[in-house]
Amino acid sequence: MSDTFEAVIGLEIHAQLLTATKIFCGCSTAFGAPPNAHACPVCVGLPGALPVLNRRAVDLAVTAALALGCEVQERSVFARKNYFYPDLPKGYQISQFELPLALGGGLQMPASVGGRFVKLTRIHMEEDAGKSLHEGFADSDRKTYLDYNRSGVPLVEIVSEPDMRSAEEAALFFETLRQILVWLGVNDGNMDEGSLRCDANVSVRRPGDPKLGTKTEVKNVNSFRYLEKAIEFEIGRHIDVLDHGGRIVQETRLFDAAQGKTYSMRSKEEAHDYRYFPEPDLPPLMVDAARRDRIKAALPELPEARRRRLIAEYGIPEYDAALLTQTRGVADYFEQTARSCGNAKAASNWVMGEVLRNMKERAVAIEAVPITPAALAGLITIVEQGTISSTVAKDVFARMYDTGRAAAEIVAADGLAQISDTSSLEPIVQRVLAAHPDVVAEIKAGKDRKFQFLVGQVMKETRGKGDPKLVTDLMRAALGT
């Protein structure tokens, strides 16, 4: 980026609240239902239908607001945002405007992206719109199809101040926010299904200029990487236009991931004036101090605090703590395993290694891992006791995963225990030596690096079960080296 300009970025994030029903009616919010299976007079805006607010949606929105350090307003007001588009059958979206649910708050960003505290402007509640299908039907050249399953799904819109200065910082802000929302159980973090979406407002200015440049808005970028790329492209485009004496046009743009470019979304469609006014069908939303305090008291320990505690309490490295706190479930799993086996570093290694690897390969969440923390602790214990080697332990882990049986049981039933008695290993050592007279001769001539080859042969014969230390000792004794 040209050093004569500074980028200014603010984000607007729409997050679906994890309720069972829509914000103003009892229709299900479950993803993937047949088109219009979850629609009723309220969410398709039939005349006379009246909205009634979902209490749980409010609790979740307040949870998010408190976790982000916002001031939850005792009284907020729903408003009608008027616009004509068929995905919004009432002709307006019920949102909040002048008096939103929460104000202020923010997120501390790490030193790697500038160490700024990125402030939030506000958090408000609103309903999602339906889905327009413009392509894929025989008459798509003349018709648009509409599915209202999403219409009325509860959302919070989280608006940041224009406090970010690089695409990298903005992407990390979004990622951190996502982790917190998922951690809180407020949102499922699923960007592919549209339950978490991000719009970015981008402008550039001369450093030190108190005035903001003209901004453009990049809409609906559904991955961290694309968000970063889209913002980077947009910053470059702004600088290029200004460097060539042009002017930035305030507009909405979309990101084309394949081309890595943004393009203008609307032109003559830009006749927008939302004519907000208070929603007459809903009373003001009251969140009294008692309700706010009850929700505050129920907030879980947040990711950053948990990372710090894991490092202090279990003495694990920062790297481990970061990996183990990707979700609350993983952090819980680690802590239970560590407490149960008494060896935090071993527990950390197993969770970061085999557990996370299996989750990734099988695309499952920690809750679906069939090995309980206590069972994993059992495996760690028998490795520590020397009953099995760490190589065999990985195999035992795989069998535990597939069968749900305990480690000790698998070791006993499948004969996997480490062979650590001299009488069993000695004959194998002798056999290996007899089979490789040439290697023995080389070692005796001083090529000691061949020694590991012989140890390897014994381990192979024992199918990995030989106690490596004992095998080494026996081999040294037999060779007299």
Partner 1 sequence: MSTLTQQDVKRIAELARLELTTDELDLFTRQLGGILTYVEQINALDTTGVVPTSHVLNRPVDRPDVPEPSLSREDLLANAPDAAREAGLFKVPRVIG
Can you give the binding site for partner 1, defined by CB under 8 A? 19-21, 25-28, 34-41, 44, 52-58, 77, 82-86, 132-134, 137, 140-148, 271-273, 275, 278, 280, 282-286
SS3 200: strand
- Residue 346: Cβ-neighbour burial (10 angstroms; 0-12, 13-18, 19+): buried
Please answer whether residues 198 and 29 qualify as being in contact, where contact means their C-beta atoms are separated by less than 8 angstroms.
Answer: no
Residue type, 124: H
> Is 141 or 192 the residue whose CB approaches partner 1 more closely?
141
Nearer to partner 1 by Cβ, of 24 and 333: the residue is 24
Find tokens 């990125």 and name the residue.
Answer: 118
- Say which amino acid occupies 399: R
How deeply is 373 buried, as exposed, middle or buried, from its count of CB atoms within 10 A (0-12, 13-18, 19+)? Answer: buried
* CB closer to partner 1, 140 vs 430: 140
**Rounded distance, CA 344 to CA 367, Å?**
20
Nearer to partner 1, 278 or 329 (CB): 278
Distance CA 167, CA 227 (A): 8
Contact call for residues 303 and 322 (beta carbons, < 8 A): no
What secondary structure letter does DSSP report for 28?
A: B
Q: Which CB atom, from 133 or from 408, has the smaller least distance to partner 1?
A: 133
In angstroms, what is the minimal distance from the CB of 69 to partner 1?
24
| Least Å from the CB of residue 116 to partner 1 | 36
Taken as a whole, the chain contains a residue count of: 481
| ∠ Cα 57 153 146 (to 5°) | 170
Least gap, CB of 142 to partner 1 (angstroms): 5
354 DSSP assignment: I
- If the CB atoms of residues 209 and 281 are measured against partner 1, the closer one turns out to be 281
Please, which residues have CB within 8 angstroms of residue 189's CB and are 6 or more apart in sequence?
178, 179, 181, 182, 195, 196
Helix axes 437-444, 468-479, angle to 10 degrees: 70
Residue 76 per-residue DSSP state: E
Q: How far is the CB of 44 from partner 1 (least distance, A)?
A: 7
In the bound complex, what is the minimum distance in angstroms from residue 286's beta carbon to partner 1? 5
> Please, which residue, 139 or 438, has the CB nearer to partner 1?
139
CB of residue 124 vs partner 1: minimum separation in angstroms? 15
Tell the smallest beta-carbon distance from residue 281 to partner 1 (Å): 9
- Select 98 or 313, whichever has its Cβ closest to partner 1: 98
Least separation in angstroms between residue 131's CB and partner 1 is 10
